Structure 1
Amino acid sequence: MPRKESLQNLRATLVRRRDALRKALAGDLSLLSELHQQKTGDALDAAADTVQDELNSQLVEVESKELVAIEEAIAKFQQGTYGDCEDCGKPIPLNRLRAIPYASDCIECRRKAENDVDGASPAVPWNRIFDMTEADTIEG
């Protein structure tokens, strides 16, 4: 399948996901407001409600960020720049776009960005974190 046709298929996927997220967020927000009005019970119920509210709030935040990224990707279709890396300008590989249709950068530029976090200390070697012994983590 040619790249242009694949990108159009991804656009359809983005539009469906955007619509689903909008519906989910509208439902989540209305459900949260309903739940706040129905607060009854003892201290344990209140604590459970608070934990659930926090989880719902975090989910809404994640979904909201994804929705913004999807809307930006759809706007790039209109500008004719969808599928191009924002950093280097090269086409983002289709496999990456299929995995993350709202990706705005290629894998190489993403890795550079993750390693150059504002000149901070080098990234934690997560693939080796569990190989460390307690002696490795205690200084002096």
Structure 2
Amino acid sequence: MRVTLVRRRDALRKALAGDLSLLRELHQQKTGDPLDAAADTVQDELNSQLVEVESRELTAIEEAIEKFDAGTYGNCEDCGKPIPLNRLRAIPYASDCIDCRRAAERGTDSSSAAVPWNRIFDMSEADTV
């Protein structure tokens, strides 16, 4: 799992470096007309949102690597129980078990914030709503 985390971290670092370089280039270019300026603005916004998501994932991965080195990797931060291996395979930087994540998404657990890009969805509940 540590190797997977390190590989993903390195790939994200390269991607972020490229994204930031692209954003700098776009800001230095002059736009021709109002339509070009509007298109550039939309592209800038999309790129900055992508950088933000990648940055959050990179932070979570770096925290997971630190936990791995400290010997606490794979334990839920909320309840302390081991996070199932299948969850860690799907999301190697997961910091909570599925039950605690669901509770956080329902708002019953105010100690952890729901992360929209890492949402767990229960189909049985969605069908009844």
TM-score by structure 1 length? 0.77
What amino acid is the match of 1:96?
R
Q: Match of 2:86?
A: 95
- Summarize the alignment of residues 67-86 of structure 1 with structure 2, pairs less than 5 Å apart: 67-86=58-77
Aligned to 2:115: none
Kindly indicate whether residue 56 of structure 2 is the aligned counterpart of residue 65 of structure 1. Answer: yes
Matches of residues 1-140 of structure 1 in structure 2 within 5 Å? 10-115=1-106, 116=108, 118=110, 126-128=126-128
Structure 2: how far apart are the matches of 1:114 and 1:43?
42
* Residue in 1 that maps onto 2:119: none
Q: Quick one: which amino acid aligns to residue 58 of structure 2?
A: L
CA distance in 1, matches of 2:103, 2:8: 28
d(CA) in 2 for partners of 1:45 and 1:128? 46
Count of paired positions: 114
- TM-superposition CA deviations, 1:1-56 (whole Å, max 9, x none): xxxxxxxxx11111000001001111111111011111221100000000000000
Q: What 5-or-longer segments of structure 2 have no aligned partner?
A: 111-124
Shift of the 85–117 alpha-carbon distance from structure 1 to 2, 3 Å rule, reads closer
Following TM superposition, the consecutive aligned residue runs of length 4 or more in structure 1 with deviations greater than 3 angstroms are: 125-129
TM-score of the aligned structures, taking structure 2 as reference length: 0.83
Q: Residue 87 of structure 1: CA displacement?
A: 1.2
CA, structure 1 residues 126+44, in 2 after alignment: closer, same or farther (shift >3 Å)?
Answer: farther
**CA distance in 1 between partners of 2:3 and 2:69 (Å):** 13
Percent identical among aligned pairs is 82
Could you give the per-residue CA deviations for residues 90-139 of structure 1, whole angstroms, max 9, x where no partner exists? 11000000010000011111111222264xxxxxx65456xxxxxxxxxx
**Larger Rg, first or second structure (1 or 2):** 1
